[in-house]
Amino acid sequence: MIRSISVRTPGGPLREEAVVIPLFAGERALPALPSDRALADAATALFAAGFSGRRGETRIASVLRDKKLIHLLLLGLGRREAAGAEDIADAAGSAAAALNGVRAASAAIHLDPVLDVALPEGDVAHATLKGMLLAGYSFSVGKRTAAPLRRVSLVTSRPARAFSAVVRRARLVSGLIIDVRDWVNAPANRMTPGGFAASSRELCARHGVTCRAWGRREIEKAGMGGVLAVAVGSREEPRFVVMQYNMDKAKLPLVCLVGKGVTFDSGGISIKPWEKMHEMKSDMAGGAATVAAICACASLGLPLRVVALVPCVENMPGGAAFRPGDVLTMCSGKTVEVYTTDAEGRLILADAVAYARAHYRPDTIVDIATLTGGAVIALGTRVAPIMGNAPARIDAMRAAGLAAGEPVWPLPLDERFFDLVKGEIADYKNHAGRGASPITGGALVGVFAESTPWVHVDIAGPSWNDGGGPSYQTRGATGYGVDLLVRFLEGMAGA
């Protein structure tokens, strides 16, 4: 695990066990050479032997120095014109994996060759560090083996202070992404609603965010019929986690984040087939991302007020469970007929979004949720559909996705789709057929945002890596959404 990051100029004696030279595809000469003569020769020889520069391509040569191996790594960045933040992080992750493969404890990476792309330099440096910091992650219940790479130096001719804020931010965000991965990978018998609330309290305390977790009583008092109905089939008591940052600064813009916190989604009475049910421990990934995002805001000191709300429940079948056909009265007073107990996310989000709107009167609401299987069918596991009622905020979310390397894509949510969630015996229904299910799912949440500017991010695909993810993700939880939200919030803060 990487514990220290420094920034230094090229030249001077080599103190690291490895040097990384990144280059784009089709380059005719090496863009940088290590000051060390033997390593420079090794680099030239590796390059001459044929190196395509394909993204993630790595070649290593090692030289013996004082009975220790020093490594030279050529790293392919792929096509310069096509390189986005996600591609750069992906290449950097491959470098870290290769360095861990030769058990290097420290490495210097030449940054200047990477900076030569159509992205702000800070975003490039951030992506490079994020890829390296996340690549060594692994999860197992019990003891974990730490990856060997511990120290990274960014080598650049730019003044070190140009990157000091980026280094701090990359460490912070990557650390929080790792926390989210741990929470989401944790089995549902450990990460219960109570466990989620306790973990949130702990993380918030570390970052200076106030955190309160309501229990069933308070949720009842608020009249959150959606949260209560989904929770009632489980022996685990629900929680409603309320986190606040900067709320005493009334002049600053206010953003409410709402995250889906279903610690296990069996489908309830509308039970899911068994094949992938175990992966439904990840149904609180949106909730975890919102906790991490508000913690990042506080640690970065963003000039913004942020409230994060996570309705936290376990969706289980049982004698006490809610059923298809039930009509729920939500906290806003609107009623919803339940067609399937497996469309539970929109029910708990509807209550949380309505509460956010009525209680805080925010400038913007952003909800993030593993909401629909249809999102995975539509866009796969690398891109999250977004939608909402405020075009400028949707554009801002797209920009955040590009900068963070966490891509999102807008789906059309208009009256046609709001019409589809209108109910027959109640105001609304929680299911509107298979067609356009990510949009009708979003629409039911959007109904409760009413006129408050609102963006919905469906992370059912990218929150979980089933094997096809970038190099800096292992199988399982990805922590997708944290960097995206932080970027979006930085934009709202005008930072």
Contact residues: ligand BES, CB under 6 A: 265, 283, 340, 342-345, 370-374, 376, 431, 437, 460
Cβ at position 371, least distance to ligand BES in Å? 6
List the catalytic residue out of 150, 151, 158, 272. 272
Q: How many CA atoms lie within 13 A of 322 on its CB side?
A: 27
Tokens of 344: 């539970």
Binding mask 344-363 for Mn ion (x = CB under 5 A): x-------------------
| Helices 391-404 & 482-492 angle (0-180, nearest 10) | 130
Q: Which two tokens stand for residue 455?
A: 């963006």
Residue 127: closest CA among 468, 406, 485, 385: 406
Checking 49-52 for CB contacts under 8 A at 24+ apart, the result is: 51/23, 51/76, 52/25, 52/76
Q: Taking the complex as a whole, how short is the minimal distance between the CB of residue 322 and ligand BES, in angstroms?
A: 14
Of 27-35, 55-63, 341-349, 473-481: span binding Mn ion (CB under 5 A): 341-349
Q: Under rule CB under 5 A, how many of the chain's residues touch Mn ion?
A: 3
| Number of residues this chain uses to bind Zn ion (CB under 5 A) | 4
Ramachandran category for residue 344: left, alpha or beta (phi over 0 → left; psi -120 to 50 → alpha): alpha
Shortest spacing between CB 445 and Mn ion, in angstroms = 14
Rounded least distance, CB 306 to ligand BES, Å: 25
Query: Residue 460 touches which of ligand BES, Zn ion, Mn ion, none (CB < 5 to 8 A by kind)?
Result: ligand BES
Q: Does 342 bind Mn ion (CB under 5 A)?
A: yes
Output the smallest distance, CB 283 to Zn ion, in A.
4
- 169, 305, 346, 393: the catalytic one is 346
Helix (H) or strand (E) holding 231, with range, is helix 225-231
String marking each residue 254-283 x if it binds Zn ion according to CB under 5 A: --------x--x-----------------x
Nearer to ligand BES, 121 or 458 (CB): 458
Hey, what are 467's tokens?
A: 């094997």
Following CA atoms 484, 405, 163, 474 in sequence, which dihedral angle do they give, to the nearest 10 degrees? 90
Within positions 23 to 62, which residues make up the interface with Zn ion, using CB under 5 A?
none
Closest to Zn ion by CB, 61 or 277 = 277
Residue 150: CA atoms inside 13 Å, Cβ hemisphere, count?
Answer: 5
Instruction: Give me the amino acid identity at 67.
Output: K
Q: Which two tokens stand for residue 261?
A: 């916190």
Distance of CA 225 to the CA centre of its chain: 29
272 in catalytic set: yes
3-class DSSP assignment, residue 426: coil
Closest-by-Cβ residue to Mn ion is 342
Contact criterion met (CB below 8 Å) for 308 and 291: yes
Q: Which is nearer to ligand BES, 255 or 348 (CB)?
A: 348
What are phi and psi for residue 63, nearest 5 degrees? -120, 150
Residue 362 interacts with which of Mn ion, Zn ion, ligand BES, none, CB < 5 to 8 Å by class = none
| Dist. CA 474–CA 195, nearest whole Å | 24
* Active-site residue, 54 included: no
Residue 316 near residue 269, CB atoms below 8 Å: no
CB of 487 to ligand BES, least distance (A): 23
Tokens read off for 297: 């805001």
* CB-nearer residue toward Mn ion: 38 or 232: 232
Site for Zn ion in 336-355 (CB under 5 A): 345
Nearer to ligand BES, 60 or 348 (CB): 348
Binds Mn ion by CB under 5 A, chosen from 86, 123, 179, 265 = 265
Interacting partner of 372 out of ligand BES, Mn ion, Zn ion, none (Cβ under 5 to 8 A depending on kind): ligand BES
- Alpha carbon of 192 to those of 184, 218, 243, 291: distances in Å? 11, 18, 18, 16
User: Minimum Å distance from CB 292 to ligand BES?
Assistant: 19
| Residue ranges that bind Zn ion, judged by CB under 5 A | 262, 265, 283, 345
Catalytically active residues are 272, 346
| Residue ranges that bind Mn ion, judged by CB under 5 A | 265, 342, 344
